[in-house]
Amino acid sequence: MTTTTTQRQQRRIQMRFVWLAVAVVVFLVPFVFEFDGLSPAGHRMFAIFLVAIVLWVAEPIPLYSTAVLIILLEILMISDQALVGLPADFEPRAFRDYYSALADPVLLLVLGGFFLAMGSSRFRLDRAMGRILLRPFGDRPARIMLGLMLITGTFSMFMSNVATTATMMAVVLPVVAALPTQDRLRVGMVLAIPFAANIGGMGTPVGTPPNAIAIGQLAGSGISISFGKWMVMAIPGVVALIFIAWWLIRRLFPSATETIDLKIEGEFDRSREARIFYVVFIITVVLWMTESFHGVTSSIVGFIPVVVLLVTGVLKEKDLQNVQWHVLWLIAGGIALGRGIVDSGLDDWVIGLISWESLGATVTIGVFTVAALVLSTVMSNSASANLLIPLGVSLALSGTVDVDPLVVGFLIAMGASLAMALPISTPTNAVAYSSGLIKTGDMAKTGILIGVIGVIIYLFVSPLLWSALGVA
């Protein structure tokens, strides 16, 4: 290990302790200073909220660690088991309700998505489908890029964005390696994959954690949105953005090659386990998309592949150990944070700090959506969604501004997912950046444009379509 590497590690350790110290300091602020209009329970929750901001932004500890810390602090500070008594006029939530965030129905919905993703990877369904679906796009660079983006976007609706990116990068890298070193298409092809995965993940409730966080917060407020309704609201924008991103990448990274010999290996697995998985995959997706007809909630449908694939032995104990439990805990922490913010009255106090009435509905929604975009550019999009969605939904429910809480929660989730300007913005960007074929500047200029255009589409164009379809 070199001296430079050792020094960097020491600096990281030092900064970790610095940020942990900052977290302790901000935690004490609500106990040292009294904020007018904020209840005693609100002061305690404000302390927890400030800690969450510091730890989720700076990440001195893993994001999921902060999530479970939030749950514990809420139990010890504002539940019916609080270590220090609360005022008689405050009715604390039972501590079990905060624990129950770790088994919220939304988590089972996401868990089902994880199982489908694991099965797709294990039986190489993604590779086989990619080989078949790319055939109609021919050998022209522009058409191949469009095909790759459409396939990546589709897969990422039901698979982890990271898993989809890793899979499709394995498909595209051999092609890129065969291109001339100076051909800008090399950069464009690599960028196309993570951007398409980020955009595609916006399309379904299981596509990316911010979607699940929004659904969980809305459900906690008595507002439900079906799997199909989410898709109706999201998919038109997703399709438009993929085509816009394709057009931008073509213009920014023009090809010097007329044709590409695209060779993708992959055959459908015909084993017993694979056949069972294919059937379960199809049934689950169909049930998700037809929820409004049969009435079985998406979280129950999401639990079906978990049970069937384990009972039939298609997925085994080692697969269960590979589930991204840290993502589920992060979502649970966000759900618990939202409950605490509402229970303590912190949401009303924060909302009261700004004269939202003077801003109007469109500006208010825009502020939250853009805030999600900006925050998610430099921190986890799940963390920013956890911080902003409870406040946005509470503002909508308060009646201060005439906005639909479902629309607010949905758009904050969209804003968080549209942040893709930096390698640290999303894990998918990091996977692509690790290839060594792209520069931060290339990713930034393209990602910023896509993010801004996406916000404009969802703020001003999509609502017109929703109104015409009667979904919002």
Does 170 lie in the same domain as 96?
A: no
Residue 265: pLDDT band by 50, 70, 90 thresholds? Answer: low
DSSP conformational letter for 92: P
Does 129 lie in the same domain as 263?
A: yes
Give residue-wise pLDDT tens across range 425-441: 787 888 788 778 888 88
Does 239 lie in the same domain as 143?
A: yes
Rounded average pLDDT over 364-390: 88
Residue 239: pLDDT band by 50, 70, 90 thresholds? Answer: very high
What residue numbers bound the domain in which 453 lies? 124-268+429-469
Give residue-wise pLDDT tens across range 385-404: 988 999 999 999 988 888 99
> What's the pLDDT score for residue 2?
63
Cα–Cα distance for residue pair 276/102, rounded to 1 Å = 29
Give residue-wise pLDDT tens across range 90-104: 889 999 999 999 988
> What's the pLDDT score for residue 311?
95
> What's the pLDDT score for residue 471?
82
> What's the pLDDT score for residue 68?
94
Does 263 lie in the same domain as 128?
A: yes
Does a structural domain hold residue 179?
yes
Higher pLDDT, 264 or 365: 365
Q: How far is CA 282 from each of CA 276, 287, 304, 305, rounded to the nearest angstrom?
A: 10, 9, 12, 10
- Residues 6 or more apart in contact with residue 13 via CB below 8 angstroms: none
Residue 79, SS3? Answer: strand
Rounded average pLDDT over 201-212: 92
Does 223 lie in the same domain as 170?
A: yes
Residue 262: pLDDT band by 50, 70, 90 thresholds? Answer: low
Give the least confident one: 61-75, 113-127, 164-178, 256-270.
256-270
Residue 200: pLDDT band by 50, 70, 90 thresholds? Answer: very high
Does 4 lie in the same domain as 73?
A: yes
Cα–Cα distance for residue pair 17/21, rounded to 1 Å = 6
Share of the chain above pLDDT 70, in %: 96
Does 191 lie in the same domain as 85?
A: no
Does a structural domain hold residue 57?
yes
Does a structural domain hold residue 263?
yes
Does 139 lie in the same domain as 76?
A: no
Domain end (from 71, 102, 133): 102
Does a structural domain hold residue 390?
no
Does a structural domain hold residue 223?
yes
Rounded average pLDDT over 211-230: 91
Rounded average pLDDT over 349-373: 88
Higher pLDDT, 76 or 338: 76
User: What is the residue-averaged pLDDT of the chain?
Assistant: 87
Residue 129: pLDDT band by 50, 70, 90 thresholds? Answer: confident
> What's the pLDDT score for residue 361?
87
Does a structural domain hold residue 228?
yes
Does 155 lie in the same domain as 77?
A: no
Rounded average pLDDT over 270-293: 88
Give residue-wise pLDDT tens across range 38-50: 999 999 999 999 9
Residue 212 has pLDDT above 80, yes or no: yes
Cα–Cα distance for residue pair 272/365, rounded to 1 Å = 50
State the sign of the Cα–Cα–Cα–Cα dihedral 388, 393, 396, 397.
negative
Does 134 lie in the same domain as 96?
A: no
Does a structural domain hold residue 235?
yes
Cα–Cα distance for residue pair 370/451, rounded to 1 Å = 10
Residue 1 has pLDDT above 60, yes or no: no
Does 156 lie in the same domain as 64?
A: no
* Whether the Cβ atoms of residue 419 and residue 377 lie closer than 8 Å to each other: yes
- Residues 6 or more apart in contact with residue 55 via CB below 8 angstroms: 19, 23, 61, 65, 66, 69
Letter for the amino acid at 403?
V
Give the least confident one: 130-134, 222-226, 354-358.
130-134
> What's the pLDDT score for residue 79?
94
- Residues 6 or more apart in contact with residue 271 via CB below 8 angstroms: 123
Does a structural domain hold residue 327?
no
> What's the pLDDT score for residue 126?
66
Residue 263: pLDDT band by 50, 70, 90 thresholds? Answer: low
> What's the pLDDT score for residue 348?
85
When divided into structural domains, the chain yields a total of 2
Cα–Cα distance for residue pair 347/42, rounded to 1 Å = 9
> Measured in whole angstroms, how far is the alpha carbon of residue 19 from the centre of its chain?
25
- Residues 6 or more apart in contact with residue 188 via CB below 8 angstroms: 145, 249, 250, 252, 253, 255
Query: Which two structure tokens, joined as six digits, stand for 60?
Result: 């001195």
Does 207 lie in the same domain as 79?
A: no
Residue located via tokens 């021919």? 138
